[in-house]
Amino acid sequence: MRTSLAMMNGEHMIYSLTTQNSFTSSLVPFPGIEWLQRIATNESAYTWNGKTFTSAYDAIMEGDATAKPCRNLNAYFNSFFLSSLVAERAIELTGSVHIAHYLLCYLRNFVAAFVIYYGTAGIFHYFCYVHPMSKKTFEGAKRIRPAWSIMWDQIKLSQASMAVYVLLPVVDEWMVESGYTRVYHTVAEIGGWPYYTTYMLLYFMCVEVGIYWMHRTLHTNKWLYKNVHMLHHKYNKPETLTPWCSIAFHPVDGILQASPYVVFLPIVPCHYLTHFMLLFFTAIWATYIHDAMDFNVDPIMGSKYHTVHHTHYIYNYGQVFQFCDWFWGTLRVPDGPTGQLKTAASRRATKKVV
Both 76 and 116 in one domain: the answer is: no
- 317-352 residue pLDDT tens: 999 999 999 999 999 998 878 755 444 444 444 444
Task: Answer yes or no: is 352 within a domain.
Answer: no
Rg over CA atoms, the chain? 24
For helices 84-94 and 97-125, give the axis angle rounded to 10 degrees: 130
Do 122 and 216 fall into the same domain? yes
Q: Is the pLDDT of residue 13 over 60?
A: no
Considering the domain architecture, whether residues 127 and 273 belong to the same structural domain is answered as: yes
Q: Exposed, middle or buried, 294 (CB in 10 Å: 0-12/13-18/19+)?
A: middle
Whether residues 68 and 138 fall in one domain: no
Are 254 and 159 contained in the same domain? yes
Per-residue DSSP letter, 39? H
Instruction: Give DSSP secondary structure letters for 103-137.
Output: HHHHHHHHHHHHHHHHHHHHHHHIIIIISTTHHHH
The whole-number average pLDDT for the span 56-72 is 87
**Cβ atoms 144, 239 nearer than 8 A:** yes
pLDDT in tens, 127-177: 999 999 999 999 998 999 999 999 999 999 999 999 999 999 999 999 999
pTM of the model: 0.87
Complete DSSP assignment for 74-96: HHHHHHHHS-HHHHHHHHHHHT-
Residue 91 has pLDDT above 60, yes or no: yes
Residues 77 and 172 both lie in one domain? no
> pLDDT value at position 29?
83
Residue 309 falls inside a structural domain: no
Q: What is the per-residue burial (b if ≥16 Cβ within 10 Å, else e) of 297-314?
A: eeebbbbbbbbbbbbeee
Single residue among 35, 66, 95 that ends a domain in this structure: 95
Among the three residues 233, 257, 287, which one is the final residue of a domain in this structure? 287
The bridge status of strand 46-48 relative to strand 51-53 is antiparallel
Residues near 151 by beta carbon (within 8 Å), at least 6 away in sequence: 125, 242, 244
Report the alpha-carbon distance of residue 215 to residue 255 in Å, rounded: 11
Q: Which of 1, 39, 36 is nearest to 21 (CA)?
A: 1
Q: How many domains does the chain have?
A: 2
Determine the Cα–Cα distance for residues 289 and 281; give it in Å rounded to an integer: 12
**What value does the mean pLDDT of the chain take?**
88
Highest mean pLDDT among 21-30, 42-51, 98-107: 98-107
Whether 350 is in a domain gets the answer no
| Domain co-membership, 87 together with 194 | no
So what's the pLDDT on residue 70? 92
Within 8 A by CB and 6+ apart from 67, the residues are none
Q: Are residues 77 and 215 in the same domain?
A: no
Answer whether residue 264 is part of any domain: yes
DSSP-derived secondary structure letter, 287: H
Q: According to the model, what pLDDT value does residue 165 have? A: 92
Q: Tell me the residue range of the domain where 226 lies.
A: 107-287
The reported pLDDT for the residue numbered 3 is 35
Taking the C-alpha atoms of residue 68 and residue 177, their distance in angstroms, rounded to an integer, is 7
Three-state DSSP state, 6: strand
Residues written for the chain: 354
The mean pLDDT value for 43-62 works out to 91
Domain-ending residue, one of 244, 263, 287: 287
Residues 142 and 186 reside in one and the same domain: yes
User: What is the rounded CA–CA span in Å between residue 215 and residue 231?
Assistant: 14
Residue 297 has pLDDT above 60, yes or no: yes
- How confident is the model over 106-134, as pLDDT tens digits? 999 999 999 999 999 999 999 999 999 99
Q: Is residue 344 part of a domain?
A: no
Q: Is 27 domain-assigned?
A: yes
- 276 and 245 fall within a common domain: yes
**Reduced to 3 DSSP states, what percent helix, strand and coil does the chain have, rounded to the nearest 5?**
60, 5, 35
Question: Is 90 exceeded by the pLDDT of residue 4?
Answer: no
147 part of a folded domain: yes
207 in the same domain as 131: yes
Shared domain check, 259 and 215:
yes
User: What DSSP element (H or E) covers 53?
Assistant: strand 51-53
**Alpha-carbon distance 321 to 10, whole Å?**
61
> Could you read off the pLDDT of 220-241 as tens digits, one per residue?
999 999 999 999 999 999 999 9
Residue 213 falls within a domain, yes or no?
Answer: yes
